[in-house]
Amino acid sequence: MKQKKARRHSGKKYLWYSILCVMLLVLAGSTYVLMSFGLIPMTGNKTLDIIIGILLVIISIASIVCGIIAFVYYNQNSNQIRFNYATFELVEGINSERAFLAYVAKDIKRNRGKANALVAFAATRFKKIVFTRYGYEKGGEVLGLVYETFNTLKTKYPHSYYGYDYNENFLIYLRDTPYEQVQEYVNDLIEEINKTLFENRNEVKFVADFGVSYCQNENDEFITAASMLQRALIAADHGRAESDLGGLTLYEPKMYERNKRNVQLGLQIERSLELEQFELHYQPKYDLKLGRFAGAEALVRWRHPELGLLSPANFILFAEQSDLIIKIDHYVLEKVCKQLDEWRGKGQRLLPISVNISKRTLFTGNIINHLIKVTDKYNINPMLLEIEIVESPSLQDILLLLSIVKKFKNLKVKIAIDDFGTGYSSLSYIKKIPFDVIKIDKAFLDDVDIDQKSRLMIKNIIDLAHILDAYVVMEGVQDERQVKMLEEMGADSIQGFYYSRPLPPEEYQAFLEDNLFEANKKKKRGRK
């Protein structure tokens, strides 16, 4: 940080030099002009007046030259600062990936056989949350404090060496360190960061996925710095797949094959998105109060070129472990808007469509701007869209979630909490977040025939939602008996196979037309 401040002060110095040169130029130039027009009296000595005029011209020219030079130096210095910021070279002792690996390579060669650890951690989620909350200027300052914690821990862990890679992962090398101390180091790092940033404040906490490559026996005799880094990154990815809450994961050989398969699957998904091999099916929702179908939920399917039509169960969980889910969510939202535009062009009936948005996309996927972009592109009224957010214990930052929900609502987009009742903090969600729709998870219907408690819970959720002015949708309805029970309980809408399976676009529109004038007809369209 001292290095950054020195460069910043140096840049300001050159800026002041250039400003001073401009002031001298203005003063000398204006004096010369005023003397030429007789507005400033001459000395009366012709030789002296000529000398003064020449000096003023020389001062003006010198001011121009010096000003240009000072500005060039200022601009170069500013670019250097921006470059260093972009590469996270903000703290003395934080090295580039190249320098870091060179150091590690020399050290493991010198200390072959000792217990050495390379820790990689991605604070990407944390960074994006910080930037979302504070903006990029303030967010950069906050992250600068994170980087400074490396030097803070240097005293306690003198055999530590730090760096970063080009994918914004931070790297730590711990020489001759027992694994227990590696764990202690990570705990100390998290504690120090939280203490520095959030002490006595109710703010978002530091979240990172730590992966560690640890070598200490003859099996690691030929390990290289590059392979240690690869192992640590694989372990970090594995940890991220297992939990949204961050933590430390030790590399195991079996992770390599899994990572290899995941890379291949990821490439397939990206390619299929480019080729538009993902398609949408629409499951109708029946409004009990209006006695008609009043919307649908868009559900993605993968038209695999070899395996045929795949349900989300085959790819969504994998996609949610990476930024692939952001690409899928963006793809689905645009597909829905495009479909609405096509239906409108054919004069077909338009009803609101709900779209599932993942936690990763919600917090880090710039979903608001994407929604504005696609609704403008296809000229779609945002009121025809409903965003479904899955209840999850990882949605801990209520203030951040609230700000995002408000942005949706400002666009007239409705917000629904999906699978309500299966998470860990349902009541706190609906108390603080102004959801328009509450979708009750179908699990409550599984044993509703034999369990009085399930029926009572459904009734209480419906009553609570209505107190909060929320619209209630019951998922997973299978038979007419459930429909009558939910109608008596006061549910607003029903979704499930009793009415219809998810349908391709053409079948969905045909289904609406068939039921347009049959408001009270409960037509069953089961699985096919």
Q: Cα angle vertex 76, ends 71, 81, to 5°?
A: 125
Say if residue 81's pLDDT is above 70.
Answer: no
Please state, in angstroms and rounded to a whole number, the distance separating the CA atoms of residues 500 and 191.
52
Mean pLDDT of 35-51: 64
Task: Work out the widest C-alpha separation in the chain, in whole angstroms.
Answer: 116
Q: At 122, is the pLDDT very low, low, confident or very high (cuts 50, 70, 90)?
A: confident
pLDDT at residue 320, as a whole number = 82
Q: Cα angle vertex 289, ends 284, 293, to 5°?
A: 20
Say if residue 448's pLDDT is above 90.
Answer: no
Please state, in angstroms and rounded to a whole number, the distance separating the CA atoms of residues 14 and 18.
6
339 CB neighbour count, 10 Å cutoff: 20
Q: At 366, is the pLDDT very low, low, confident or very high (cuts 50, 70, 90)?
A: confident
Mean pLDDT of 441-468: 86
Q: Fold for 94-252, please state it.
A: Alpha-Beta Plaits (3.30.70)
pLDDT at residue 91, as a whole number = 42
Percent of the chain with pLDDT over 70: 67
Q: Give the CB-side neighbour count of residue 316, counting CA atoms within 13 A.
A: 14
Q: At 514, is the pLDDT very low, low, confident or very high (cuts 50, 70, 90)?
A: confident
129-138, 360-369, 463-472: range with highest mean pLDDT: 463-472
Of 122-126, 277-281, 316-320, the poorest mean pLDDT is in 122-126
Mean pLDDT of 7-28: 57
Helix axes 452-467, 480-489, angle to 10 degrees: 50
Say if residue 396's pLDDT is above 80.
Answer: no
Please state, in angstroms and rounded to a whole number, the distance separating the CA atoms of residues 378 and 521.
34
Say if residue 363's pLDDT is above 50.
Answer: yes
**Beta bridge partners of residue 412, listed in sequence order:** none
3-state helix, strand, coil in the chain (%, to 5): 55, 15, 30
Q: At 3, is the pLDDT very low, low, confident or very high (cuts 50, 70, 90)?
A: very low
- For residues 333 and 374, is the Cβ–Cβ distance under 8 A? yes
- For residues 171 and 164, is the Cβ–Cβ distance under 8 A? yes
Say if residue 525's pLDDT is above 50.
Answer: no
Of 175-179, 222-226, 490-494, the poorest mean pLDDT is in 222-226
pLDDT at residue 457, as a whole number = 87
pLDDT digits (tens, 9 = 90+) for 298-321: 999 999 988 899 999 888 888 887
Q: What is the mean pLDDT of the chain?
A: 78
Say if residue 404's pLDDT is above 60.
Answer: yes
Q: Which residue has the higher pLDDT, 64 or 424?
A: 64
Of 116-130, 193-207, 246-260, 276-290, the poorest mean pLDDT is in 193-207
| Domain ranges for the chain | 2-86, 94-252, 275-514
Q: Which residue has the higher pLDDT, 5 or 68?
A: 68
pLDDT digits (tens, 9 = 90+) for 477-495: 999 999 999 999 999 999 9
Provide the CATH number for the domain formed by 275-514 in this structure.
Answer: 3.20.20.450
Parallel, antiparallel, or unpaired for β 160-164 and 94-95? parallel
Q: Which residue has the higher pLDDT, 168 or 249?
A: 249
Mean pLDDT of 108-133: 73
pTM of the shown model: 0.62
Please state, in angstroms and rounded to a whole number, the distance separating the CA atoms of residues 332 and 326.
10
Q: The tokens of 294 are what?
A: 């009043």
Q: Which residue has the higher pLDDT, 29 or 411?
A: 411
Q: At 260, is the pLDDT very low, low, confident or very high (cuts 50, 70, 90)?
A: confident
Mean pLDDT of 333-342: 97
Query: How many residues can be counted in the chain?
Result: 528
Say if residue 517's pLDDT is above 50.
Answer: no
Q: At 2, is the pLDDT very low, low, confident or very high (cuts 50, 70, 90)?
A: very low
Say if residue 75's pLDDT is above 60.
Answer: no
Please state, in angstroms and rounded to a whole number, the distance separating the CA atoms of residues 243 and 237.
10
Say if residue 367's pLDDT is above 80.
Answer: yes
